[in-house]
Structure 1
Amino acid sequence: MTPSRPRYLRASRAALTVALSLALGALPAFAAEPAAASVAAQRSEDAVGARFKALYTREWKWRQAQFAGGDDEDVQGQPSDKLPKVDPASQAARERYWAQVMEELDAIDKSQLRGEDPVNYEVFRQQIQSLLANQRLRSWEMPFNSDSAFWTNLGFTARRPIRDAEGYRRYLGQLRDIPRYFDEQIANMRAGLDRGYSVPRATLGGRDVSIKEVLDAKLEDNLFYTPFKQMPANLPAAEQARLRAEAARAIDEAVLPAYRKLLAFMREEYMTRARTTLAAEALPDGEALYRAKIREYTTLDLAPAQIHEIGLAEVAKIRAQMDQTIAKTGFKGSFAEFLHYLRTDPKFYPKTGDELLMRASWLAKRVDGQIGELIGLLPRQRFAIKPVPPDLAPFYTAGRGGRDVYLLNTYDLPSRPLFNLAALTLHESAPGHSLQTSLAAEHEGLPDFRRYTYISAYGEGWALYSEKLGIEMNLYDTPYDYFGYLTYQMWRASRLVVDTGVHHLGWSRERAQAFLRDNTALSEHEIQTEVDRYIGWPGQALSYYLGQMSIERSRAKAEQALGRDFDIRAFHDAILALGSVPLPVLEQRVDRFIVESREKAAARQAKAAGADSGKAGAGGGRR
């Protein structure tokens, strides 16, 4: 801050300015004030922008350090030879830090931010609010759910390629750190049990299998030995042998004892003491917790009852479309009979895992041939299509996509219908998750906290919207394929009903399963795993359909406003360039897109009119 000048100096300088103005016949001094005010305002805005950038840069660097060595299917932490600290002291420090960041953020005058910073502010604020809310609710005392867990997330690290000796040394350090990491997680889970904060007991059946598989595997087949099976050719043979020997010792001395301890805790303590209720609102501070989860996953401040009613209305709308599609198949019978037919006729199911993978690959290549008609800027990153690893598959969803891989579940093939495959592939690969997350990561104009983080309402909303783009790409070849698309739409609309039904209205597990069974063509296996997923992961299921509704609403608004000037490629590019943002920010961007598109159209018309005028003038001269 510049120290203020003495009052007498300021007064003398003002008098001198007036005298010079009068002597030289210049304009009065106050005429210069607007320019001076403009410069001062610009300096103020620059200072606010610099302060905001310093804040988010510092926090992101700190956040990366906090979770160094962590890994899951969406985010890979910065390299480390240790796993993250998760003990109560570290959790308390995170809460204090993010509370301080929020105070600093509140002190920033958002109205003075310029360029992309107003959007950066909204995205950053949403992230910090969610992080802080989870710390205050002590979500870290429940570090797993029926979909994913801290111990299965370690598998993502084990399956990632390692390219040099330093990478292997870091990985070995992480293996040695597993006992400390598991001990801290067990202590946290025990504290959660003591206050009635746990995963519902009803969803825990068989969840210990993924722990036991690590203990039962021979060294060569052990998940954590995976990086040592095929090592880089540039590593000398002697060093490869030494690293393999170290891995064998680390697995025997650190990994296996830690997993034995975790398995005993889960079987003898957690599974017997876990709560018998299902609803998030039955947890300590349950109503506040569920509303916080709704805000985190939807980026909207909607009441559970309001979301439930939205879901029921959308279910009714989609059901009418399903009835029309059944008529096109020529099937004679009731809706329930048609669903039974889809679930039981072998012609709708792959005979082998390879068949499922190859059909998905063919669909993905068909998308490649058309995607340029819908999206202008495409990512450099390519994705592979692989089966879900066997240790995850029994309780894993049908598929999941990331920047470099689309995981397709080949477990229990009679529960993997081919009529759903087009919608699933569009959602998980391109133009869904793989494309969207790759574009975000490659957008060098965005700060890192927007390039490498994921807001569920945006990401899942885009992926679900991508399923609808399959209609424009003619990906649904038969009425059965189209019914598969509709059953996926119905599945996500039903989530609004089921999630709020369980966590707010007190639905039983059986009632939630029955709702999916009666309204979708999902297999029985999928119905059971999905309902357990919603029970153990409150609020996450709400992000999909609400996100899609926001994008569809924004597109309809732009199409109506722009008419013939609407450009679908430019519209998608504008949305995808955001990275991952709260839904209100997305809708504000579309409002700006409409204005920009009108300005471009007006400029084109003016240019064309000028060209026509020039031609007319030239023609008159020739006559």
Structure 2
Amino acid sequence: MIKKIFKWLGFLLLIITVLAGSFAAYEWNADKPIRFRSFVDREVLKMAFESPETLTSLGFLESIGITGHNAELDDASLAKADEMYVKLKTVHKTLNAYDDENLTEADRLSKKIALYLLDFAKDSEQFRYHNYPVNQLFGIQNGYPSFMEAQHQVNSVADAENYLSRLEKVKHKFNQELEGIRLREEKGIIPPAFVIERVLEEMNNFVDKPIEENILYSSLAKKMSDSENISADEQQQLLAKAKNNIKTFVHPAYQSLITYFSNLQAKATNDDGFWRLPDGDKAYASALQFFTTTNYTPQYIHDVGLKEVERIQNEILTILVEQGYDTSQGFSAAIESLAAQDSFYYPDSDEGRAQILKDYQVILDEIDTGLDAVFRIRPKAGMEVTRIPEFKEKTAPGAYYQQPAIDGSRPGRFFANLYDIKATPKYSMRTLAYHEGIPGHHFQIAVAMELEGLPLFRMFSPFTAYVEGWALYSEYLAWEMGFQDDSFDNIGRLQAELFRAVRLVVDTGIHYKKWPRQQAIDYMKSNTGMAQSDVISEIERYIVMPGQATSYKVGMMKILALREKAKTALGNKFDLRDFHDVVLKNGAVPLDILERFVDRYIADTLAN
């Protein structure tokens, strides 16, 4: 892994530095490098080097002794964003200057994917302010402490001093974020009233907590105590500085946001969909196009969702009848009866939550050893389960995945939300672990990071329909392989798929059909049987992330359709391992390009 890091990033930087005036330096500085791959990798590297937080997250410079970026935070100013859009136009022009006839097949594909992203960036620039940078789900107010806790490593006094520097500089970054938020207010893009209520509650709780209990303080204390390179006296001195920096810089930064949003409340309304914003209907159509990588209309997605909800509910009801449950009162009543059984839940205690994490790890370790029959390509990076930080779990999703560090210093992580014990029935744990971990996000994302010969930008391409479609497909695959042969585990799987089908209905309902927040909550609650706390969290997520929730089911349905297409065409020549290689070995791509891969696989297999 370290060898690959030097090859990708560190080694390239060192060569350019040492061989000034050489071919490598020319490739770095030329308007149009000779090699196409040099150009696309160079542009990604330049963007990374302009983002100290990205460099910290990637974790490759530390392995060659470079750590100064860990004292800095990203530039979040409007001027920096303007600069990026200008830069993207230049990159687009240069990409088109490379003649397809002179490119390898792999480079032609990379060019096509890059142009897909750049074309979308150009077309959607008009909607760049159609979002809520600070909301109950994400934003600087919870992203900053999460980043410091999860990404900023402290193995020396110098690392701790960099940590202190970032505590100082957060006030400036908060002011930069406020600049963009105020511009959105001028344009009439104001978050719904509940969003403002949620973020004010979150931020007030953050500043009201004693500094010693603040995650920025406690995280630094733990990291230093775990290090063998920082003496007890040094730790005390550094923690005293951290306490002062939190009081002097961090708390005032949060207070500036608190004051702003408190004043903004009077302008907020209870209308939640994008339809209420200037050009909101066009902005929503753009979001759907980006997240699904299709041209599906909101009405088409809504109708598909309704049909899938009915189909999946019928499958669940069939199993419940076989298990002796009364379904005469309808789907919602039957699911509520199932969910009401105490035997399906862990104790509502620290011990119960700790056992959940242990059991998740057992589930992942079990399936990891049983995949050879259907996979050839597998990630080298490890996988671990951890709890979503308690300070943000109340408004966080049920789970999420964090990619491993490139240098192997941090494994892939499946973060589980343990706030509401009733949101984690035992029969739902397997499918959630398969989705977020193995063979879901961990396989797809970690494999993409480890692929040889892939341009850097394709290791992190943001094609949500592919990424989330693969994770949802992985739940289905695990069931096919017998890892959910218990009837209740299968209900858990079907509920998870139903959940994604319902998303098609409620996302379009909110942003296209003008459903109020409560109507969407009621629909999801009555059609999924999910815990009320999860339903509210999910609906509020869709409101601040329009279109994203539709990508899961759209992507899964496409992957399954392509698999069936290959099976039908190839007959006994079809090998599921080959199909998975085709899907995974090129990183995340738009769904139409994925279909081209599968079509080529079919043609090549038939020709042999």
Q: Under TM normalisation by the shorter chain, which class is it?
A: 0.7 to 0.9
Structure 1 gap ranges (5+): 1-46, 603-623
Distance 1:499 1:582, change over 3 A: same
Shift of 1:239: 4.5
Distance 1:111 1:462, change over 3 A: farther
Q: How do 1:61-460 and structure 2 match up within 5 A?
A: 61-69=45-53, 79-110=69-100, 112-133=102-123, 135-139=125-129, 142-160=132-150, 161-225=153-217, 226-231=219-224, 232-237=227-232, 239-266=234-261, 268-334=262-328, 335-351=331-347, 352-403=352-403, 404-460=412-468
Shift of 1:290: 1.0
Distance 1:204 1:343, change over 3 A: farther
Q: What does the per-residue CA deviation read over 1:26-65, in whole Å, with 9 as the maximum and x for residues that have no partner?
A: xxxxxxxxxxxxxxxxxxxxx9994643442332123223
Greater mean deviation of Cα atoms: 199-208 or 322-331: 199-208
Q: Which amino acid aligns with 1:179?
A: K
TM norm structure 1: 0.83
Q: Give the whole-Å Cα distance in 2 for the aligned partners of 1:518 and 1:588.
A: 39
Distance 1:58 1:323, change over 3 A: same
Q: For the Cα contact (< 8 Å) 2:387–2:416, is it kept in 1?
A: yes
Q: Does 1:596 align with 2:604?
A: yes
Distance 1:71 1:52, change over 3 A: closer
Q: For the Cα contact (< 8 Å) 1:193–1:274, is it kept in 2?
A: no
Q: For the Cα contact (< 8 Å) 1:311–1:493, is it kept in 2?
A: yes
Q: Which amino acid aligns with 1:411?
A: Y
Q: For the Cα contact (< 8 Å) 2:461–2:589, is it kept in 1?
A: no
TM norm structure 2: 0.85
Q: Give the whole-Å Cα distance in 1 for the aligned partners of 2:296 and 2:33.
A: 31
Q: What does the per-residue CA deviation read over 1:2-32, in whole Å, with 9 as the maximum and x for residues that have no partner?
A: xxxxxxxxxxxxxxxxxxxxxxxxxxxxxxx
CA RMSD of aligned residues (A): 2.5
* Match for residue 511 of structure 1 among 485, 498, 519: 519
Shift of 1:338: 0.7
Distance 1:273 1:65, change over 3 A: farther
Distance 1:554 1:165, change over 3 A: farther
Greater mean deviation of Cα atoms: 514-523 or 162-171: 162-171
Greater mean deviation of Cα atoms: 123-132 or 575-584: 123-132
Q: For the Cα contact (< 8 Å) 2:301–2:508, is it kept in 1?
A: yes
Shift of 1:362: 2.1
Q: For the Cα contact (< 8 Å) 2:499–2:528, is it kept in 1?
A: yes
Q: Give the whole-Å Cα distance in 1 for the aligned partners of 2:76 and 2:130.
A: 8
Distance 1:130 1:486, change over 3 A: same
Q: What residue in structure 2 maps to residue 25 of structure 1?
A: none
Q: For the Cα contact (< 8 Å) 1:328–1:479, is it kept in 2?
A: no
In our comparison, the structure showing a higher alpha carbon Rg is: 1
Q: How do 1:563-602 and structure 2 match up within 5 A?
A: 563-599=571-607, 602=608
Q: Give the whole-Å Cα distance in 2 for the aligned partners of 1:75 and 1:324.
A: 47
Q: Give the whole-Å Cα distance in 2 for the aligned partners of 1:76 and 1:273.
A: 42
SS of residue paired to 1:69: helix
Distance 1:65 1:291, change over 3 A: farther
Q: Which amino acid aligns with 1:262?
A: L
Q: Does 1:557 align with 2:557?
A: no
Distance 1:194 1:56, change over 3 A: same
Q: For the Cα contact (< 8 Å) 2:301–2:505, is it kept in 1?
A: yes
Q: For the Cα contact (< 8 Å) 2:33–2:39, is it kept in 1?
A: no
Q: Give the whole-Å Cα distance in 2 for the aligned partners of 1:50 and 1:259.
A: 48
Q: For the Cα contact (< 8 Å) 2:271–2:516, is it kept in 1?
A: no
Q: For the Cα contact (< 8 Å) 1:467–1:485, is it kept in 2?
A: yes
Q: For the Cα contact (< 8 Å) 1:69–1:174, is it kept in 2?
A: no
SS of residue paired to 2:378: coil
SS of residue paired to 1:407: strand
Q: What does the per-residue CA deviation read over 1:561-583, in whole Å, with 9 as the maximum and x for residues that have no partner?
A: 22112111222122111111111
Shift of 1:278: 1.5
Shift of 1:205: 3.3
Shift of 1:438: 1.0
Q: What residue in structure 2 maps to residue 60 of structure 1?
A: 44
Shift of 1:544: 0.4
Q: Give the whole-Å Cα distance in 2 for the aligned partners of 1:70 and 1:347.
A: 44
Q: Which amino acid aligns with 1:583?
A: L
Q: For the Cα contact (< 8 Å) 2:127–2:283, is it kept in 1?
A: yes
Q: Which amino acid aligns with 2:340?
A: T
Shift of 1:94: 1.5
Q: Give the whole-Å Cα distance in 2 for the aligned partners of 1:454 and 1:411.
A: 29
Q: Which amino acid aligns with 2:259?
A: A
Distance 1:586 1:415, change over 3 A: same
Q: For the Cα contact (< 8 Å) 2:463–2:590, is it kept in 1?
A: yes
Q: Give the whole-Å Cα distance in 1 for the aligned partners of 2:264 and 2:549.
A: 25
Q: For the Cα contact (< 8 Å) 1:279–1:502, is it kept in 2?
A: yes
Shift of 1:89: 1.6
Q: What residue in structure 2 maps to residue 26 of structure 1?
A: none
Aligned residues with identical type, % of pairs: 28
Aligned residues: 552
Q: What does the per-residue CA deviation read over 1:283-323, in whole Å, with 9 as the maximum and x for residues that have no partner?
A: 12212211221121111122111211221222222222222
Q: For the Cα contact (< 8 Å) 2:570–2:606, is it kept in 1?
A: yes
Q: For the Cα contact (< 8 Å) 1:122–1:582, is it kept in 2?
A: no
SS of residue paired to 1:376: coil
